[in-house]
Amino acid sequence: MLAAMPDHPASPSHAPGLALGQEAVLERPCSAADLTLFAHATAHAEPRPGQAEPVATAWGLALMLAAAARLLPGQAPRLAAFSLASHRPPQPGEQIRAEARVTSLTPGERVGLACRLQGAGGLLLAEGSLELLLPAAAPAPPGPAEAAGLGWKFARLLAACEGVPPLPTAVVAPTDDLSLGGACEAARARLIEPLLIGPAAAIRAVAEQIGWDLSDATLIEEADAHAAARRAVALVQQGQAAAIMKGAIHTDALLRQVTRPESGLREGRRLSHVFVLDVPGREGLMLISDAAINIAPDLAAKADIVQNAIDLARAIGIAEPRVGILSAVETVNPDIPSTLDAAALSKMAERGQIRGGLVDGPLAMDNAVDVAAARTKGLSSVVAGHADVLIAPNLEAGNMLAKQLVFLSGADTGGLVVGARVPIMLTSRADDAAARLASAALAVLYRHWRISGRSLLSEAPAAP
């Protein structure tokens, strides 16, 4: 049992929107990687046999505190008192559920919370109570990033877009709640000025379902998704749209219109998609390409893919991106064609054929992102162990890597198609509102960088 004595009373404040019985829930799997990262962050020894239980117990208690923090978004309460009991530590691979419920409210001063931690099958792992002192000043309402549940890395991107005029964006066939909802959130965040193209009756019906009155949007009638894609390209050609956002239309159908020779949207470089991910435990954002467009790119296509990724990385404030060209091994092997491409791309960067970043390869995944793995393999490259950008050998590898980080590691993600005259937000049907909002911020930052030659992130504040 852990307990703390109460702190001194706080000065008057309030907790907007809180009510007795209000609950917050946080669910995530406990992984060995989580425990290792938590051990390092809290100065524990790395979990080993005989050491893992204290670290896992502390990780579980921290998860309960994180659930409690969800009840007070945008605030910075102080911990006045707590009483927590642990019955069993979480186990690696176990799905963990943390709950926090408001049990008492002292107007302007304190919030009492009951907390529970459950493991597999609803087994009670820990329980207890917290008492929080509220800040003296009323907090500002949560911003778009906070409301969408994005972490500080993507919140920085959204904050950097403040003051930039919304990007006139052709939204192609937003006839379902996810795609129209994404456009709505981006419009409310002042990231885009939406031009909604498609069957007007269907769009209005979905807008009514999600509570958007369309007063801040332009509705353009087109009979179907294919006609909407053609109209979006025409709006770019006419200078009425500066970006394109995918709605309820297949990727290939949209890109077929974008890449037509007469569209005027191609600029002599291969189009490619770049995932931007906030991976838990990593200091900065990670970029992965190409995982959505180029199935089996040859060397020339890979050179464009690398250059596109470097450009986007620079647009989001990475002054000299470190690019790791991935393969199964870190040595050149004629029997593995991707290692030959990686070596050629590295040499192309040395000769100035790829500009703006540091490129090295072939690198295996471990020694691309982990310093210890790179040292073990005897790699002294400035990229090895520190890669900001990962270039996959083909679409299958890139897609599996990106989706693994999202669905198994809990990464937040956004993405953008680059290499065309305008940025293209190519969201997936599985993307939530946070991913769509992040993608819109990427489009604004990339467009600004293309026009001005500088990143809006260059003078942005560092991590809190």
What does the pLDDT look like over 136-149, one tens digit per residue? 654 455 566 555 56
Residue 398 resides in a domain: no
Confidence of residue 52 (pLDDT cuts 50, 70, 90): low
Sign of CA dihedral 348, 403, 145, 188: positive
Confidence of residue 439 (pLDDT cuts 50, 70, 90): very high
Confidence of residue 54 (pLDDT cuts 50, 70, 90): confident
Say what the pLDDT of residue 6 is.
40
Say what the pLDDT of residue 307 is.
97
What CATH number is attached to the domain comprising 78? 3.10.129.10
What are the angstrom distances between the C-alpha of 352 and each of 29, 255, 290, 307?
Answer: 44, 30, 22, 11
Mean of all residue pLDDT scores within the chain: 86
Q: How many domains does the chain have?
A: 1
Residue 30 resides in a domain: yes
pLDDT at 290 over 50: yes
Q: Which domain holds residue 106?
A: 2-133
Distance (Å, whole) CA 384 – CA 360: 8
Mean pLDDT of 304-311: 97
Q: Which residues of 91-118 are buried (b: 16+ CB within 10 A; e: fewer)?
A: eeebebbbbbbbbebeeebbbbbbbbbb
Say what the pLDDT of residue 107 is.
67
Distance (Å, whole) CA 259 – CA 67: 46
Distance (Å, whole) CA 452 – CA 202: 38
pLDDT per residue as tens digits for the range 314-350: 999 999 999 999 999 999 999 999 999 999 999 999 9
Residue 178 resides in a domain: no
Say what the pLDDT of residue 245 is.
94
pLDDT at 280 over 70: yes
Question: Of 50, 443, 79, 461, whose CA–CA distance to 274 is shortest?
Answer: 443
Say what the pLDDT of residue 462 is.
44
Question: Strand 322-326 to strand 286-289: parallel, antiparallel, or no bridges (unpaired)?
Answer: unpaired
Confidence of residue 402 (pLDDT cuts 50, 70, 90): very high
Say what the pLDDT of residue 10 is.
35
Q: Is 69 helix (H, G, I), strand (E, B) or coil?
A: helix
Mean pLDDT of 374-397: 93
Residue 94 resides in a domain: yes
Residue 443 resides in a domain: no
Sheet bearing 218-221, strands edge to edge? 218-221, 192-198, 167-172, 243-246, 424-425, 412-418, 272-278, 286-289, 389-391, 322-326, 358-363
DSSP letters for 403-440: HHHHHTT--EEEEEEESBSS-EE---TT--HHHHHHHH
pLDDT per residue as tens digits for the range 389-398: 999 999 999 9
Say what the pLDDT of residue 48 is.
52
Question: Strand 192-198 to strand 218-221: parallel, antiparallel, or no bridges (unpaired)?
Answer: parallel
Say what the pLDDT of residue 74 is.
59
Task: Give the whole-number percent of the chain exceeding pLDDT 90.
Answer: 57
Distance (Å, whole) CA 199 – CA 327: 45
Q: Where are the alpha helices (DSSP H) in 93-195?
A: 144-148, 152-160, 177-188
Strand partners, 24: 100
Select the more confidently predicted residue: 429 or 247. 247
Residue 88 resides in a domain: yes
pLDDT at 183 over 80: yes
What single-letter DSSP state applies at residue 388? S
Confidence of residue 67 (pLDDT cuts 50, 70, 90): confident
Residue 255 resides in a domain: no
pLDDT at 365 over 60: yes
Mean pLDDT of 171-180: 92
Say what the pLDDT of residue 312 is.
97
What are the angstrom distances between the C-alpha of 143 and each of 66, 112, 158?
Answer: 19, 26, 9
Confidence of residue 434 (pLDDT cuts 50, 70, 90): confident
Distance (Å, whole) CA 431 – CA 438: 11
Note whether 83 and 1 are within 8 A (CB). Answer: yes
Say what the pLDDT of residue 398 is.
95
Residue 229 resides in a domain: no
Question: Which residues are within 8 A (CB) of 142 and not within 5 positions of it... i.e. 6 or more apart?
Answer: 73, 74
Question: Which residues are within 8 A (CB) of 276 and not within 5 positions of it... i.e. 6 or more apart?
Answer: 285, 286, 287, 312, 316, 413, 414, 415, 416, 438, 442
The model's pTM is: 0.71
Lowest mean pLDDT of 44-48, 150-154, 218-222, name the range: 44-48
What count of residues does the chain have? 464
